[in-house]
């Protein structure tokens, strides 16, 4: 099957995201409330995670094993990352839009965050871990990187208790669209 990468990127640039349903049918979705991970002083994490960071048990990499991160994100009892969507992420990766932000413990992939970068927007698609704290360390290090690179926002799409612990907050659609327009005017690079 052929995919129009430009059309897919345009869908994300308009504020939509792809998900597969329980029958693996892929569709575009939008939301009236989006969840942002703060890139300012509102970002927080537990003191216990600071101890893990201080121990430097994990190293960080970008795109060291993109496909393993996608597979890790899809490896759940119920997943919206269908085989077709995995192919699309691979094509977005090859086109320079999709990235895996990874934590490693030695040669073992500890965890990672899958995201799409368009201008100054980082759109977090999913995250996973194989080693406890692996994805949490990835979150902290990714936020640091996005701050350094002057990204406008980190869109986590949907709220959950895990993201709330990092200070995640919701943005209504009108504000989201304004920030998205601003982000699309920027040229930010994760690498």
**CATH code, 73:** 3.40.630.70
Residue 24 lies in a domain: no
Instruction: Write the DSSP assignment of 7-58 as a string of letters.
Output: HHHHHHHTT-EEEE-TT--EEEE--SEEEEE-SSTT----HHHHHHHHHT--
Residue 100 lies in a domain: yes
Give the pLDDT confidence score for residue 32 in this predicted structure.
87
Position with higher pLDDT, 53 vs 31: 53
Whole-number Å distance between alpha carbons of 179 and 127: 23
On the question of pLDDT at 18 being above 80, the answer is yes
Domains in the chain, number: 1
Residue 3 lies in a domain: no
Whole-number Å distance between alpha carbons of 130 and 76: 12
Give the pLDDT confidence score for residue 49 in this predicted structure.
95
What helix, strand, coil percent values describe the chain, rounded to 5? 35, 30, 35
Give the pLDDT confidence score for residue 77 in this predicted structure.
87
On the question of pLDDT at 27 being above 90, the answer is yes
- Identify the three-state secondary structure at position 65: coil
Residue 120 lies in a domain: yes
Q: Can you point out the beta strands (E) in the chain?
A: 17-20, 26-29, 33-37, 59-62, 98-105, 108-118, 121-129, 153-157, 169-172
- For residue 47 the two structure tokens come to 């003191």
User: How many residues does this entry show for the chain?
Assistant: 191
On the question of pLDDT at 1 being above 80, the answer is no
Give the pLDDT confidence score for residue 115 in this predicted structure.
98
Residue 2 lies in a domain: no
Residue 12 lies in a domain: no
Give the pLDDT confidence score for residue 91 in this predicted structure.
97
Range of the domain at 163: 34-174
Residue 1 lies in a domain: no
First to last CA, the chain: 30
Give the pLDDT confidence score for residue 36 in this predicted structure.
98
Would you place residue 174 in the very low, low, confident or very high pLDDT band (cuts 50, 70, 90)?
very high
Would you place residue 31 in the very low, low, confident or very high pLDDT band (cuts 50, 70, 90)?
confident
On the question of pLDDT at 167 being above 90, the answer is yes
CB-based burial, 19-36: b 16+ in 10 Å, e otherwise: bbeeeeeeeeeebeebbb
Residue 180 lies in a domain: no
Q: Summarize pLDDT for 76-135 with one digit per residue, the tens.
A: 988 899 999 999 999 999 999 999 999 999 999 999 999 999 999 999 999 999 999 999
On the question of pLDDT at 71 being above 90, the answer is yes
Task: Tell me the whole-structure pTM to 2 decimals.
Answer: 0.95
């Amino acid at each position: 099957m052929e995919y129009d990468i430009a059309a897919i990127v345009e869908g994300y640039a308009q504020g939509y995201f792809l998900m597969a349903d329980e029958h693996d049918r892929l569709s575009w979705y939008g939301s009236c409330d989006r969840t942002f991970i703060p890139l300012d002083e509102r970002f927080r994490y537990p003191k216990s995670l600071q101890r893990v960071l201080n121990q430097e048990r994990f190293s960080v990499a970008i795109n060291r094993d993109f496909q393993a991160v996608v597979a890790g994100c899809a490896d759940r009892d119920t997943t919206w990352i269908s085989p077709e969507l995995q192919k699309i992420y691979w094509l977005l990766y090859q086109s320079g839009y999709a990235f895996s932000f990874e934590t490693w413990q030695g040669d073992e992939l500890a965890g990672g965050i899958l995201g799409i970068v368009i201008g100054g927007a980082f759109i977090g698609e999913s995250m996973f871990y194989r080693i406890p704290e692996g994805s949490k360390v990835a979150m902290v290090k990714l936020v640091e990187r996005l701050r350094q690179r002057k990204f406008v926002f980190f869109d986590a799409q949907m709220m959950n208790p895990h993201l709330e612990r990092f200070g995640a907050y919701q943005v209504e659609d009108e504000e989201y669209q304004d920030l998205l327009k601003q982000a699309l005017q920027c040229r930010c690079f994760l690498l």
